[in-house]
Amino acid sequence: MAKPQRSIWWAVGIALVGWIVLAYPIVLLGLLSLVVMTGSVDGTVTAPGIALGVMGMLGALAMLAFPLLLGLAIKARRRALWLPALLTGALTVAACIYLTVEWLIPLG
């Protein structure tokens, strides 16, 4: 027997709280990715810079999608919804770690 679905407010609440928590990292990673991809005014853009910028944009999109997918997975209680939620969650954690280590607390 299938479990009953939770209220839609679970999904709305989780998505809103997630977006509030991730708002600063999403904007920061998006801007940093844009700067890395476009290069400086007098410098040239290299292929690794473009690749790093694209990966940063994918990380920002994962951060944007994760709260909504997690809210839907918790609301619907279906295994099929947990796979994309966990995948975007892993990408979100990786992007946050990259942002913290590489840009906010440079180690080297």
pLDDT in tens, 76-96: 888 899 999 999 999 999 999
* Within-domain flag for 2: no
Query: Hey, what are 44's tokens?
Result: 């040239």
Phi, psi of 64 (to 5 degrees): -70, -40
Total domain count for the chain?
Answer: 1
Residue 54 has pLDDT above 60, yes or no: yes
* Within-domain flag for 54: yes
* Within-domain flag for 73: yes
* Other beta carbons within 10 Å of 87: 14
d(CA 52, CA 50): 5
Residue 44 has pLDDT above 90, yes or no: no
d(CA 40, CA 42): 6
* Within-domain flag for 12: yes
* Within-domain flag for 65: yes
* Other beta carbons within 10 Å of 105: 8
* Within-domain flag for 94: yes
Query: Hey, what are 67's tokens?
Result: 């709260």
The whole-number pLDDT of residue 50 equals 87
* Within-domain flag for 82: yes
* 12-21, 33-42, 67-76: segment of lowest average pLDDT: 33-42
**Host domain of residue 62:** 8-104
State how far the alpha carbon of 81 is from the alpha carbons of 53, 67, 94, 106, in Å. Answer: 28, 12, 20, 36
Mean pLDDT of the chain: 88
Residues 6+ apart with CB under 8 A from 87: none
